[in-house]
Each structure stands twice: as structure tokens, then as C-alpha cells.
Structure 1
Amino acid sequence: MNEIIQANRSKNLEVKKSADSRGGSMKNDTDWKNTAEFFKELKMRWIKTGPVDKEIHEELEQEFNDSIQTFFENRRHFFEGMALQAEENIKVYEALVIQAREAHDLPDAKMAFEISKRIQKEWKEAGKVPAEKRQPLWDEFSKLNNRIFSRYKRGLNPGPQMNPREILRKIDEMVEELKKNGSSAQHLCHHHSGQGDSGRLEETSDAKTKRGKSPGEIVSVFHGYYFRKGIPGKTGPQQIFGL
């Protein structure tokens, strides 16, 4: 009977030494998820293994448990550090959102765009934070930067604009047309001189008939309009457009 017991204890000792050795080799591993599962399974196998001689039991047990404790303490410190780092990273993201707000309110679209490019680069380089805390910040940050870019783009492409000289040319063409058509053209009239908006020009098909103005007089009325608008010097289209 003693021989059977001793044989079983020797077999148990081999199993536990093997488990202790494997635990020692994995105690500093940083694959937190898989290694945690490894130690849980190793611990269950240890418990299911029978006793060994009392002379070596305590020392072997202590060594095995030390390996397990080392791993789980390392894991705890790592995640605690991550939590602290995440808090610091959140402060970085919040600061970038504030900068985006300030850039958005700048009157200088180009300066706002340059700031936007810089802070977007800094955003990409900021550390990790939990998704549920990062997402609201990102939603506001991206919206502000999109608006900044749109304003800057509009400044680069303001759309078609008529050159002042082209406007002047068209005015001259209109005056010449009045001269050519005479009384059959639609003329510009001035109503209620000195009252209300006395400088307002109106188009009417029977202006020539009612007032008896010649084409030359119509041109004078047209130029008189500029005078009543308070444009100094020679009253004409050139003064309107600064040409």
C-alpha cells in the first residue's frame, strides 16, 4: 500500500513540477487575455492533481502561486495605467475640440484652415480612449473642421462675377440703343424730383410720349441719376465702378 501511495505522489510531483515550470515561463507574458485563460486552466489542473510529499509541498505550492500572482498583478497594473492614460488622452481630445471651435469662429478663413489641418494631424496622433468617450468629441470635432474647410473652399471659388468694365460696356450699349431707337425705345424716367427716393430710375414705355424727352435728354436723366446718388465729380458709370 505504501508503495502505491509513494508511486502516486511521485507521479503527482511530476505533474506539479511541470505546471510550476510552465507557470514560471508565462508569468511575465503580456498577452493578457490568452495568458489569463492559460493560468486559470493550469490552476484547475493543479488542484485536481493529488498531494505530494509534505517536505516539498509548501515550497512547490508557493512557487507556483507566486507565478500566478505575478502575472495577474502585472495585468492589473497595465490596465490601471491604461485607464490613467486614457484620462490624459481625453484631455488632449477635449483641448483639440476647443481649438477647433476657436478656429471655426475666426474671420480669416485661410488662418482657420491652417489651424484645422494642424489639429487634425494632432488628433490622429493622440492616444487611445474608450470609444464611448471618444465618439462625442469626434462628432463635434469633425463637424467643425468640415465647416472650416467648406468656408475656405468657398473663398477659393467664389463663383462667377462680372468684371466692372463689362458692366460699364453693357451700360454704354444700353445708352446707345436708346439713342438709336429714339421715341420707340423704353425710356428711363425720374419721378417726383426732390421727394422720397428722388434718384430712383424707372422704365416705362410711354415716358418719351408723356415727357417729350429726346434720346439726348434721356441720357442726361441717366447721368443725373448718379448725381442724385451723391457720386462726386463727373456723374457717369466710370464713377460708379471706380474705373
Structure 2
Amino acid sequence: MAPARAGDFLTIDAVARPAGGVLRWRRAVRAALAGGPGGLRAATVNHTNNGTHSIVPRVIPGGCALVAAWDSPEAAAAAWRGPLCTALEGRGRFSLDGEVARVRLREQSHRWHGWAPSATGAQPLAADEPLVVVVHGVLRPRHLAGFLRNNMHAASRAAHHPGHRGSVDISSKLPFEHTSISLWKTVAMAQDYAYAPGGHAYAMKHALTADTHHTGVFLRVRPLASTGSLGIDTPAFPDLPPADRGRLTTETTHGVNR
């Protein structure tokens, strides 16, 4: 019998100004991934945009992001000591290591570009723990304008919430595929934002009742290590150890998409 599958170890890296430009960065990262780093379960190479801050996302110029799931922290650490480390070079870099702690799929068949996230073996998050929320979706085309409008109101509410520690929108297949990554001081504060009357609660209810998406994947991630900031002026999780990215770990990083 095959051993039980453990939860995904997740790495998130966003670069505001990639070395050599966006196209070169994307080619370098894809080439590094093409070699099949040991222990890699899934990876998406994405554009970043300011859709968490504006009703019309700024796509050009934009940054880049890599989201990858691994068998273990050791597998990810080994990959960062190979070509992948060099490929991530650039200014305004944010890096985070985390453990997928909860997975909710709109339908059981839904996937994130073929990746079926796993939280097997992860302990539930406590109300006072920090939290990363990842929401991936593929819109039905007729709902694009309404989604952008609702997203702007939800993002504005997040930006002014005391628990918000940064956020970014990413996409690998514009304009209908999108993923939001938001960072929160605690689980309780994230829940207050999500369910209190207003922007996000309305947008979430509308998405469900109007069936706005072909695909919906929701993740709660326990942040374990973090370097840099994501759209704010201070480090996202200053109490966590730095994320291990080989020789890039000690680089000075700045906010993304500011």
C-alpha cells in the first residue's frame, strides 16, 4: 500500500521588478522547473497585478510570481540551491513558506491548473495564528466587469482592515483566470474581514448565488517563514524566520506592486 500523502508545503514568491524583465524572468523560471526539481508537486508561473487595489488591474508593467507545492521543506530548500534560485532574481521580492492547512473546493473536481491541493496531516489553525488566504478562480466571461467592480470594494475594505498584512493578485491565464493572495495578522481578523457586512461578504455571496466561476479553489495556509512585504510598507510577518531561498535569503527586499 502506498504511504499516506502529507499536506503540501507551499512556497510563494513575488517579484515586482524581475531582473531582465518579465518575459526573461518567466522563461528562466519555467526552464528551471522543466528539469523537474525533486519533490515538486505543482507550480504556476504568474503575472502579478494591482487588482487588489484598482478596479482596472495594471497588467503592463507588472511583476511576476511563482507559487509551488512540494513534498517537504527539504525538497523546496534543495530546489532553491539550483537554477531556480538564480531565476528568482529581481527587485521588490516577497517570499513565503507555508503549510496548506485547509482546502475547500467549489466542486470536488475543481483544480488549480491540474493541482489538487492537499492539507492532509496539517493541524487546524488557531484563531490567534497568522494566516495566508489563497483564492483561485476561473470566471465565466460575462461576469468579468462585475467581478472587477466587486473586487475593488472588497480590496478597499481589506486595505483598511487592521489585520491586513499585504495582498496581491496573480494570474497565469489572463483575463478570466485569477488568484488572490492575502496575508493576515490572525485567523480571527481574517474572518472578521471576510464575513462582516460589506465589500467582501457581498462579493462572496454574489459569486455563489450568480455562479460567476467555472472553477473555485480556496486555501488556508499557515505561514512558516517570510521575507519582505507585499504591497505594504513594512514586512508582512516580522516575527517569522526568513524564507530560505539559497543565496537570495539575505537580499534586501521591498514592497510589491506599490
TM-score computed with the length of structure 1 as normaliser: 0.16
Who wins on radius of gyration, i.e. which is larger? 1
TM-score by length of structure 2 reads 0.15
Which protein has the bigger helix share? 1
Higher-RCO chain (CA-CA 8 Å, sequence separation at least 6): 2
